[in-house]
Amino acid sequence: MINSNIRQMTRIEYIMKYASLVIEVCKNTAFFPSVMMAQALLESSSKEGTPGASLLASKYNNHFGIKAHKSWKGQKVALSTEEFLNGAMKAVKAWFRVYENTYQSFADRVQVILRNPRYRNGGVFKTSNANEQALAIQRSGYATDPNYAAKLIAIIRRHKLEDLDKKVRIGPSDLPTHGTST
């Protein structure tokens, strides 16, 4: 559960470390790996901007700030966080999910969005590119920060995360051929 063997990483190191995990959990879903990686970079960063170094990510393996609502049956921890409320950032206490390992956090992030109808109703699964998906995730209420989508899009662009999307999309060479015998 508690990950105390954390070395501070740069954003590039974080991307390299978790790229294959992001691609794996996004396969056969409507999620753009670039958006997921941008969220992980943003949500897991310390106040100094070091990815994976927030208390929630480094100690409790929660890289997405996923809250532990009443339906959550796993371990949880109460931590201070900042939420954008009534036009201003405010410090609040919230319950967050605790994971045994990083993989569980990434896989659960996919399940949280797939299972919650607000994301389907918000058009998250009907987007044709990463920018649209980032906007749909914000519209659906994933984060309270009114600049959340803009931050994700800036991270995607800065680190060329669209390259991750190409690894889960079916290209012409991946389509089955018809009328040929093997």
Q: Is 108 a catalytic residue?
A: yes
What percentage of the chain exceeds 70 in pLDDT? 88
Among residues 24, 83, 162, 163, the one annotated as catalytic is: 83
Among residues 82, 100, 108, 162, the one annotated as catalytic is: 108
Task: Give domain status of residue 23, yes or no.
Answer: yes
Task: Give domain status of residue 17, yes or no.
Answer: yes
**Which of 135-144, 154-163, 171-180 comes out lowest in average pLDDT?**
171-180
What percentage of the chain exceeds 90 in pLDDT? 73
What does the alpha-carbon distance between residue 161 and residue 44 come to, in Å, rounded to a whole number?
17
How many C-beta neighbours within 10 Å does residue 85 have? 10
Task: Give domain status of residue 34, yes or no.
Answer: yes
Task: Give domain status of residue 111, yes or no.
Answer: yes
CATH value at residue 144: 1.10.530.10
Task: Give domain status of residue 47, yes or no.
Answer: yes
Range of the domain at 119: 11-64+102-169
Asked if 155 and 131 count as a contact pair (C-beta separation under 8 A), the reply is no
Residue 156 to residues 32, 67, 89, 99, Cα–Cα distance (Å): 11, 24, 24, 26
